[in-house]
Chains A and B, each alone.
Chain A
Amino acid sequence: MTRRILPALAGLALLAFLIAPGSFAPLFQPFTRNNAPAIYTQTSLLSLTLSHLAIVAVAVAASTIAGLVLAILVTRGAGREFLPLARTVTAVGQTFPPVAVLALAVPVLGFGTGPTLVALFLYGLLPVFENALAGLSGQPAPVAEAARAMGLTPRQRLWQIDLPLALPLLLAGMRLTAVISLGTATIGSTVAARTLGEVIIAGLLSSNTAFVLQGGMVVGILAVLIHHAFQAAEIRARRRIGLD
């Protein structure tokens, strides 16, 4: 029960805070000095949160599509030869620090959301790709054999057997990517993307711990909720194929 109630309560608290941040001012007052404002009001927290989530959603969708397509290509036919290459490319994407990607992308793409999306996309590619790969290649041999022997074409095998069976692992990869991206997106504010990083950076610049706290907490709670939502979907998908 606590697995459901706690996230629900956290979600409600977050929603209340985003709709009426002013009413939480007394809570944050102790963290301010010299009568600095307790609540960030430069931009509406709600709109920052929505913009943050939108950026993460686009980045995760892009990583998922690219990672999945790549995993499909390297698990069948002639694509198999490119498996080591694909692994290297996605691993490099993960190794490259997002800050460095931001710095390199700004001269090309300019300030704003673009460089952030590129950094998140590259950073999130590896978990989705590796998990999709494991899901597509890790199914029981008799199942793969039966699918061939029943006369399913390669395309039918992909859509009707391989992808549904890979779904739980794919969702796990998306969960990792989403949680990583959610945290990493905050640094997008350094290049003028509209994310919750703006609140944290404002707090750091003005030595206002209350801002840092509220920015950090919103991101933290969002991360927990998203983690939870993906995990629930994953468990459901695993049950569906009799894994749990």
Chain B
Amino acid sequence: MIEIRHLTRVYDGVPVVNDVSLTVETGELAVLVGTSGSGKTTLLRMINRLVQPTSGQVLVEGVDTATLPAHLLRRRIGYAIQGHGLFPHRTVAQNIATVPRLLGWPRAQIDARVDELLVLFQLDPATFRDRMPHQLSGGQAQRVGVARALAAKPDLLLMDEPFGALDPLIRAKAQADLRAIQRRLGTTLILVTHDMREAVDLGDRIAVMDGGRLLQYDHPARILTQPAVPFVRDLIGATDRPLRLLSLKTVGDLAQPGDAEGPTIPPEATLRDALAECLWSGRTAVPVQGGGIVTLDALRAEARPQ
């Protein structure tokens, strides 16, 4: 569990992060979202003390991070950034092995861990282990960057706009993969983005920041349906709201007994996908794989605040 208590950072008399408190439960994915200059990146960087807080505390599993030497703290916290920051003179394997090596893991254990992570991120170890970073595509480099951040099995993973440099198609895949891996490993993850859509797609909880203050910290559905202040509503965008809301639930959640014509939709697809399918094929209901249907009326009801 990560507890942020009254965290403040002042630069030249101006608070960039202003008295922010929030808690991220173990295994949760929290997204810090806001415009540029909102203080979200500074807040993230105070967690591993790349930025020294002016006041306030960060507790990781109940331990005040200020009591640990910064470099030891950072070895326990994974960190992945936009533009990956891979060390250009080191191979993929050496890059991933950075923190385990610093921690003095035995050689065999490091090698095994590197291969395990490459497989997890769908990179063939035999092919990629000895590649140099400049020989990777953007998507591959991004995955290696996240693998490196996860290498020493950190309690906490911090990500700063990790998908910012990727083109949209690869980004969607990278987001889905990250979500799956985070669920599987049970890693607590705090991710910074300026993209509300990414926040809604990924976050268990979303922290909306503006001008250094935390405006709202809640589950995506509540952020969408009950924005605390007008700024939060603006950030979501009125036209997108119903579709975002639908994207939070899966077809399996809404399936009801019945029969419908036409091609089926998998139960793990989102309601948004189901709506798109209904509209595109002109059907009022679509059958769900493995039984049941999803009706357009049910979808309509889900797309409104309840």
CB within 8 Å of B: which residues of A? 140, 142-143, 145-153, 156, 161, 164-165, 240-243
Q: Which of B37-60 contact A (CB under 8 A)?
A: 48, 50
Q: Does B79 contact A (CB under 8 A)?
A: yes
Q: Does B99 contact A (CB under 8 A)?
A: yes
Q: Does B9 contact A (CB under 8 A)?
A: no
**Can you report 9 A-B residue pairs in the complex whose CB atoms are below 8 A from each other?**
A142-B85, A143-B87, A146-B81, A148-B50, A149-B50, A152-B98, A153-B71, A161-B87, A242-B132
Judging by beta carbons under 8 Å apart, are B81 and A151 in contact? no
Residue of B nearest to A165 (CB): B89
Q: Does B179 contact A (CB under 8 A)?
A: no
Q: When chains A and B are docked, how far (Å) is the Cα of A241 from the Cα of B73?
A: 29
- Cross-chain contact of A145 among B50, B72, B102 (Cβ < 8 A): B50
Complex contacts, B84 vs chain A, CB 8 Å: 142, 146
Q: Does B153 contact A (CB under 8 A)?
A: no
Q: When chains A and B are docked, how far (Å) is the Cα of A145 from the Cα of B50?
A: 8
- Taking A165-B88, A241-B88, A242-B134 as contacts, is the C-beta distance between A150 and B50 under 8 angstroms? no
Judging by beta carbons under 8 Å apart, are A150 and B102 in contact? yes
- Bits for B83-100, please: 1 = Cβ < 8 Å to A, else 0: 111111100000000110
Judging by beta carbons under 8 Å apart, are B79 and A149 in contact? yes
B205 to chain A, nearest CB (A): 23
Judging by beta carbons under 8 Å apart, are A151 and B85 in contact? no
- Cross-chain contact of A146 among B86, B89, B134, B135 (Cβ < 8 A): B86
Judging by beta carbons under 8 Å apart, are A149 and B48 in contact? yes
Q: Does B212 contact A (CB under 8 A)?
A: no
Residue of B nearest to A154 (CB): B71
Complex contacts, A148 vs chain B, CB 8 Å: 50, 74
Q: Does B233 contact A (CB under 8 A)?
A: no
Judging by beta carbons under 8 Å apart, are A146 and B88 in contact? no
Q: When chains A and B are docked, how far (Å) is the Cα of A240 from the Cα of B132?
A: 8
- Taking A145-B50, A242-B133, A242-B134 as contacts, is the C-beta distance between A150 and B88 under 8 angstroms? no
Judging by beta carbons under 8 Å apart, are B50 and A242 in contact? no
The 6 closest A-B pairs by CB, nearest first: A242-B134, A146-B85, A142-B85, A151-B75, A151-B74, A149-B79
Complex contacts, B23 vs chain A, CB 8 Å: none
A170 to chain B, nearest CB (A): 13
Having A146-B81, A161-B87, one finds 12 other A-B pairs with CB under 8 Å, namely A140-B88, A142-B84, A145-B81, A145-B85, A151-B74, A152-B71, A242-B88, A242-B89, A242-B132, A242-B134, A242-B135, A243-B88
Residue of A nearest to B94 (CB): A160
A134 to chain B, nearest CB (A): 16
Complex contacts, A153 vs chain B, CB 8 Å: 71
Q: When chains A and B are docked, how far (Å) is the Cα of A241 from the Cα of B95?
A: 13
- Cross-chain contact of B87 among A146, A149, A151, A243 (Cβ < 8 A): A146
- Bits for B172-198, please: 1 = Cβ < 8 Å to A, else 0: 000000000000000000000000000
Q: Does B82 contact A (CB under 8 A)?
A: yes
- Cross-chain contact of A151 among B86, B88, B102 (Cβ < 8 A): B102
Q: Which of B155-171 contact A (CB under 8 A)?
A: none
Complex contacts, A164 vs chain B, CB 8 Å: 89
- Taking A151-B72, A151-B75, A153-B71 as contacts, is the C-beta distance between A142 and B81 under 8 angstroms? yes
Residue of A nearest to B72 (CB): A151
Complex contacts, A156 vs chain B, CB 8 Å: 102
Judging by beta carbons under 8 Å apart, are B89 and A150 in contact? no
Q: When chains A and B are docked, how far (Å) is the Cα of A147 from the Cα of B98?
A: 9
Judging by beta carbons under 8 Å apart, are B102 and A240 in contact? no
Complex contacts, B86 vs chain A, CB 8 Å: 143, 146
Complex contacts, A243 vs chain B, CB 8 Å: 88
Complex contacts, A242 vs chain B, CB 8 Å: 88-89, 132-135
Complex contacts, B79 vs chain A, CB 8 Å: 146, 149-150
Complex contacts, B135 vs chain A, CB 8 Å: 242
Q: When chains A and B are docked, how far (Å) is the Cα of A150 from the Cα of B99?
A: 6
Q: When chains A and B are docked, how far (Å) is the Cα of A122 from the Cα of B81?
A: 43
Q: When chains A and B are docked, how far (Å) is the Cα of A151 from the Cα of B74?
A: 5
Judging by beta carbons under 8 Å apart, are A151 and B89 in contact? no
Complex contacts, B132 vs chain A, CB 8 Å: 240-242
Complex contacts, B48 vs chain A, CB 8 Å: 149
- Taking A145-B50, A146-B79, A242-B132 as contacts, is the C-beta distance between A152 and B102 under 8 angstroms? yes
Q: When chains A and B are docked, how far (Å) is the Cα of A140 from the Cα of B86?
A: 10
A218 to chain B, nearest CB (A): 37
Complex contacts, A150 vs chain B, CB 8 Å: 74-75, 79, 98-99, 102, 148
B154 to chain A, nearest CB (A): 10
Q: When chains A and B are docked, how far (Å) is the Cα of A120 from the Cα of B51?
A: 44
Q: Which of B59-78 contact A (CB under 8 A)?
A: 71-75
Complex contacts, B102 vs chain A, CB 8 Å: 150-152, 156
Complex contacts, B73 vs chain A, CB 8 Å: 151
B146 to chain A, nearest CB (A): 12
Complex contacts, A241 vs chain B, CB 8 Å: 88-89, 132, 134
Complex contacts, B74 vs chain A, CB 8 Å: 148-151
Judging by beta carbons under 8 Å apart, are B89 and A142 in contact? no
